[in-house]
Amino acid sequence: MRALIQRVTSAQVHVDGALIGQCQAGVLVLVCAMQGDSDDLPARLATKISKLRIFKDDAGRMNRSLLDVGGAALVVSQFTLAADVSRGNRPGFSAAAPPEDGDRLYRAFVAEMRRTGVETATGQFGADMTVSLVNDGPVTIWLDTDS
């Protein structure tokens, strides 16, 4: 699985103009299931994100986790994280998991985020979404369970 984590002061996702998910201070997680991803990966990724020390401590250093600060998460599925542009200018997405696997792993990841104790809102798998955020820092981190 791949994830792009952005530390935010707020984030929202809309579908057809309707607000369907939002969070205040915490993280926006754009997540993509990849071909061949196993069922144990959502739990590993959720644990890593919930414990990732990207929030400031009293000295202003990134030393606190999402759990430490009581932050929230907005999780949005984004198959375009699997883009391959090595053969020209048009991205290919064949590395992404098929939709049925992607949806199952996305839902499992959301459940695992909630299981860690992080308040978690979501987008809508497969929908054309509009995502807005206020990036804090900015802090943006790429995670790949293969590495």
| Annotated catalytic residue 79 | yes
The yes-or-no answer on residue 6 being catalytic is no
Is the model's pLDDT at 147 over the cut of 70?
Answer: no
Between CA 55 and CA 70 the distance in angstroms is 11
Reported as a single tens digit per residue, the pLDDT across 30-67 is 999 999 999 999 999 999 999 999 999 999 999 999 99
Catalytic residue status for 80: yes
Inter-residue contact 79 to 93 (CB < 8 Å): yes
Active-site hit among 55, 79, 109, 120: 79
Domains of the chain with CATH codes: 2-142 (3.50.80.10)
What phi and psi, each to the nearest 5 degrees, are found at residue 45? -65, -45
CA trace torsion 110, 25, 119, 7 (10° rounding): 30
Q: What is the pLDDT of residues 76-135, one digit of tens each?
A: 999 999 999 999 999 999 999 999 999 999 999 999 999 999 999 999 999 999 999 999
pTM over cut 0.75? yes
In sequence order, what E strands does the chain have? 2-15, 18-23, 26-32, 55-56, 62-64, 72-77, 119-122, 129-144
